[in-house]
Amino acid sequence: MSKFELILDSDRRLLTVVMRGFWDARVYHDYDVQLSAQLLRLRQLKGSQACLVDARDFAVQPRDVADLLRDGIAKRLHLYPERTVRLVSCALSRSQAARMTNSGAHRVYDSMDEALGWLLEQRSVAA
């Protein structure tokens, strides 16, 4: 099973990012290249865009990988859509995810229904 999956739904203008397991720097760098490319593709779509990061099966990462993830988010922040949700499975993951960004357009949830609800609510308000 792959450590990550990137699924771009052009019709819904939604990029779903699935993250799994423990990563090392090599996995992160593969992810970084592919994520940047998909965010650029998403950005080219007309209309309101969103990103759902499903990290429920993503382990709490070692410090070096967590630093790479945080730095990568900062580097790509201008590419992220106006709404991004990170879906996590535990309080420690929530804490780690919350430290990644401090933007009001980025939220952390532990429920898929709540995460999609916020994305869709925001989208309908923006329409």
Q: What's the confidence (pLDDT) of residue 127?
A: 47
Sequence ranges of the domains in the chain: 4-126
Residue 22's pLDDT is 96
pLDDT, tens digit, 9 for 90 and up, residues 58-75: 988 999 999 999 899 889
CATH number for domain 4-126, candidates 2.70.70.10, 3.20.20.450, 3.30.750.24, 2.40.50.140: 3.30.750.24
Residue listed under structure tokens 């070692």: 62
**For residue 49, what are the contacts with CB-CB under 8 A and spacing of at least 6?**
13, 14, 15, 42, 43, 81, 82, 83
Mean pLDDT of 82-86: 86
pLDDT at 57 over 90: yes
The model's pTM is: 0.83
Tell me the backbone φ, ψ of residue 21, rounded to 5 degrees: 65, -160
- Average pLDDT of the segment spanning 79-86: 86
